[in-house]
Amino acid sequence: MISYKTTTDLSQSAELTYRNMRSYYEHYSVDWEPRKILEQITNLKNRDILVDGNVVGVIRLSFNDDGCFLRDFQVSEKFQNKGIGSEALVEIRRLALEAGAKKVQLKVFKISPAHRLYEKDGFKVTSEDDRFFYMERYIA
């Protein structure tokens, strides 16, 4: 059973992101480490994704006048391709609507297979650069 809760251990959450994203950081020579990730996530809306009570992922959101920005969305590798990401996108839209947002925006590494999950969920590419697809999905 999938559930969600406010993240209480931001250090553990930063480690999860680092483990999941390490190959992308190395590919693009990005100098990230868990300490730097922790600094960046402190002021975000952080939610853990749980399966049977165990943390298997994280959702991180920020909000502005233009809507909701999905800053980070991770599912631990051994829990990927099991429908958890698709179900978590429903929760992301719910949280965004709850905060009054009309759309969710994100950026995703072009080499990440996650962009297919977002496209399947209705996100559209609005722009791109050498590393990222910038995507959005209207929700209201």
CATH number for the domain that contains residue 40: 3.40.630.30
What pLDDT score was predicted for residue 28? Answer: 87
Concatenated DSSP letters of 53-114: TEEEEEEEEEEETTEEEEEEEEE-GGGTTSSHHHHHHHHHHHHHHHTT-SEEEEEEETT-TH
What pLDDT score was predicted for residue 66? Answer: 79
What pLDDT score was predicted for residue 133? Answer: 98
Structure tokens at 74: 């991770």
What pLDDT score was predicted for residue 108? Answer: 97
Please, which residues bridge with residue 51 across strands? 2, 54
What pLDDT score was predicted for residue 65? Answer: 85
What pLDDT score was predicted for residue 30? Answer: 84
Task: Tell me, yes or no, if the pTM score tops 0.75.
Answer: yes
Q: Which of 3-7, 8-12, 33-37, 44-48 has the lowest mean pLDDT?
A: 33-37
Domain, as residue range, for 31: 2-138
Count of structural domains within the chain: 1
